[in-house]
Structure 1
Amino acid sequence: MFLIGCCLTIATVRGQTRYMDKVFEVINTRTYTYSDTLKLDFYYAPKDKVTQKPLIILMHGGGFAKGSRNGRDEQKFCTAMAEKGYAVVSLSYRLTRKNKSFGCDCPVPEKIATYRAAMQDLGKALKFLHSREVDLKIDLNQVILAGSSAGASTILNALFMRSHYEFRDIEFRNTNFVGAISFSGAMLDSEYLRSKKPVPIVMMHGEKDRTLLVGKGPHRSCGPTNVGYLILSGPLAITEKFRTNENPFLCVIDPEGTHEWSNYGYSYIPEISSFLYRTIFQGEQIQTFQIIKHVAN
C-alpha cells in the first residue's frame, strides 16, 4: 500500500528475515561532507549484495544547541539498524541555538527559523545523497526519517508541515518518505495531518515530559504571556488525527517518563524494527498504543 511502484527487497538470510533480524555481523562507516562543514556518517554492511537498500536518516537531539551525529546512542542505533539490512545515515545539522536560548524568552519567529534551518539541512543532505544514490546503493524511494527531541521535531515537520508557508520552499527533491521514528518529538500543528498520505510512524514519549508535551501544548511549557509561547502537537495529538485516516502507528507512552525518552527510545530496536517491517514491507494496518515503564540498564 505504501510503496506502490517501488522495488521491495525482503530476503531471508540463513533463516533470518531482513529488516527484522540481525543479518550482518560487520558494519562499516564512511563520513562525508554534504554541505559546507556539515557531515554525515553512512553505515552499511560491506557484504550486502542488495543494490537498492531502504535508507534510514537519523537527526540527533540537543535542543538545536548541542548533540552529535556520532554519540554513543546514535552509533548503537545506526549500527543495529544497518545489521538488519538497512543503509543508515546519521547527520549533523546547524546548531543555530548554540549559546542562545531556545526557551520561553526565545521569540516564536526565532523558533520557527530554527526549525526551518534544520529542515533546510535535511534537504541539503538529501540532495547530496541523491548525487551518490548509485554509489551508496541506496533507494531514495524508500526513506525512513528518524530523530530524537530537536531532531524528532525536525523530521516530523519535514514530513507533515511542508505545505506550511514557512517551509513550502524547502527542497526535498524526489524523495519518498515511507516511515518515521520519533523519540520525544512534536510537530508544529497536527491540523496539517488531515490530507497527508499514510506514513507508518513510531513515537516514543514520556507523559511527564515538560519540554515537548505528550499532547497538544506549549513548547517548554511556556505561558501565554511569554514571547516563546508556541503550541506544538505531541504524539497523542498526532495519533488522534491518525485514527481517522488509518495511518499506521506505534505510540509508546511512559506514564512516569520525562524528556529522557529522547535517549531511551534508541534502546527499543526490536519493537521499532518489527513495526517497520510489518507496516512498510508487509503492508499491515497497525495502530497500537503501548504503556511502558522504562527500566534503565
Structure 2
Amino acid sequence: MALPLAQELIFGLVIGSYIALGAIGFTLVYGLVNMINFAHGEFITIGAFVGYLAVVFGGVSLPVALVVALGVAAVTGWAIARLTFEPMNDAGAVPLLLMSIGLGLVLRNGMRAIAGPDRRNVPVAVTTYRFDDLGFFVTSNQLFIIGVTLFVVLVLHLFLSRTMVGISMRATADNERLALVSGIDTRQIRNAVWLAASGLAGVAGVMLAVSQSANPSVGFGQLLLIITAAILGGAGSPYGAVAGSYLLGVGIAVSVAFLPADIVALSSTMAFAILIVVLLVRPGGIANTEVRTS
C-alpha cells in the first residue's frame, strides 16, 4: 500500500537536504573556480567515513562527529586542491575537468582498497514520531538531517552577506579580474572556497552515512543528482542549488509513490526528467544563471 503524499514529502525533504549540502559546495567551486569538479563525490565519501569512524571508534555523539567530519573533509579537500587543481588554474576548463575525473577515480578506488567494499552503518538511536491523524511519521534522524541542512543554509547566508570573506567571494564570482584590481586576494578566496566546499561535502557525507551507509561509492552515487540540482537551481548560485535540491528531492520521492513496484529503481530518472523540463522552460535554471563555457 502506497504511503500518503505527506509521507513522501517528508522523504523528499530528507533527500533534498543531503543533496543540498553537496550541491552548495559543488556550485561554490563552479562559481569561483570555474570548474566542474567530478571528484566532489569523493569528498562526500571522506566525510561519510570520518563520521562513521568518529561515532564507532571515537565514541562521540553524532553532532560532534559532524563537526569532526566537516573539519577533516575541509582540510583534506583543500590540500588535494592545492596539489592538483591549483597548479592548473590557467590550463582551462577542459584540463581541469579531466583532472577531476581522474582524481575522483583514484580517490574512489583508493578508499575501496583501504576500507573494502562493505557498507558500514552508523549506529545511532532512532526515535519515531507518528502522526497517524495526518498520515505520516518522522524519525529523529530525518529531523536531524533536515535541521542541520537548514542551519547550514542560514549560516551560509550570513557568511556570504555579512562577512568580508563572503562578500569577497561574491565579488570574485561576479568578476574575478575586477575583484583582483579592487584589492581582493583572489588566491586566498579560492582557498576559502575549497575549504567551505569540501567541509560541506563532509557534512553531506555524514548525512548519507546516517540515512544510508558509509561505503567507497556513497558520494559518487549522489554526484549526478548533485550536478543536476546545481544546474537546476542555476549553476554558480548557492541559493539556487538549495532550491533545486529540494525540488529534485521532493520530485523523486513523490514519483516513487506513483511508479509501479517493478520499476521503482528507475525513480532517479525523474530527476533528469525534471531537469529537462525546467531547462526547456527556463535555460538558466531557477536562479536564471546559465552554465559558462569558459
Q: TM-score, normalised by structure 2?
A: 0.28
* Higher relative contact order, structure no. (Cα contacts within 8 Å, ≥ 6 residues apart): 2
Q: Which has a greater percent of strand?
A: 1
Instruction: Return the TM-score normalized by structure 1.
Output: 0.28
Larger radius of gyration: 2
More helix per residue: 2
